Structure 1
Amino acid sequence: EKTGSKLAKDALDHIGHLFDIERQIMNKPPDERLAVRQAHSLRQLAETKTCFENTLRKIPGKSDLAGAFRYALTRWDALICYAYDGRCEISNNAAERAIRPLAIGRKNWLFAGSDVGGDRAAAIYSLIETAKMQGLDPRKYLAVVLDRIADHPVNKIDELLPWNIDLQA
C-alpha cells in the first residue's frame, strides 16, 4: 500500500508530464499547440484524472490531500480547457506575474478615495498590463490614447485598445 506522500508524488508526476508537453510547444502558434495537445495532452489528462480518482479512493476522505484531489476533480473541465484551445496556457502564471505589482501594493489601493476611484484605478492598471502583454510601452500607449481620445468617435473606442492600436498612426 502506497503512503499519502507517495500517492501525492505520483499525482505530481502526472502533472509534470503535462508541463513537459507544454515545454515542447512553448512559443509555437496556436494551431500547432492545439495539434500537439490533441495528440498527446488529452491522453495524459485522461491518465491524470484516473490517477486522481484512484488516489482519492485510497486516502482518508477528510485529509488535506483528499481535499486537494476533490478540488481538482470538481473543476476538471476548467482545468483541461487549455487542451481544446491552442491560445490558452496550461497555467495562469503569466497572469499572476502581471498582477503581482497590484497584489503587493494592495493596501495602497484601499486609499483610492472611493469605489469609483478604485474602479478607475483597476481600469487603468488593466490597460497598462494589457499593453505590456501586447509588447507595447505602456507610457507611449497611454500618451497616444490620451492624445487621440478627445477626437475619437465613441462608437469606435475599441480601436484604441492595446491589441488594436497602431502607435505609428
Structure 2
Amino acid sequence: MHNQVHIYLNGTMSHVPSAANDPTFFLHHCNVDRLLETWIRRYGASYSAQPATGASPGENRYEHIVPFFPPYSHADMFKPSTELGYDYQELHGEGMDGGSDLGECSAPHPEGVSPGVIGMGVGIALGLVLLLAVAGLLCFRYGPKIPQRQVGDADMDMSERS
C-alpha cells in the first residue's frame, strides 16, 4: 500500500531521490505512521512477526536499521508513539475494542455542507476576484505600451499607398 501511493501520485513522489521534496510525501508518511500506531494500539507492540534470527541481513529483530544514526534495532522502533515522544490527538480504535476501521473514511455528515466550507468557498472566490482585479490594474498601468503614431508617419503612409 505504501509504494502504490508514491507510484499513483507520480512526479517527484515516484522518484526515490526527490520524493521528500514533495509536500505530499510528509502527509503520506504521517498517515502510514498513524496506521501503524493504530495497529500497535489494537494488537500490542508484539515482535512475534519479526524473527530474532534467520531473516535477510538487516531484517532480524535486534539488528540495526541502516542507515539510521545513532543505530536503532527494529525492536527499538516497534513501540507505541508515546514511548517515542509523540502522540496522536485522535486515533481510531483507541479503546482497543476491535472496532477500528484502521483509517477508512467514515460516512458523510447528514447535515450537508457546513458553514465553514461555504465560508471557505466564498473567501476563495473573493480572493480570486481581488487577485484578477489587481492583475488587470497592474497590466493596464505597467503593461506594454503601443507607440503613438506621429502626424508625419501618417503622411508617409498615404504617399506610399499611391
Q: Tell whether the structures are fold-level matches, with TM greater than 0.5.
A: no
| Greater RCO (Cα-Cα under 8 Å, separation 6 or more) | 1
TM-score of the two chains, using structure 1 as the length reference: 0.22
Higher helix proportion, which one? 1
TM-score of the superposed pair, with normalisation by structure 2: 0.23
Structure of higher CA gyration radius: 2
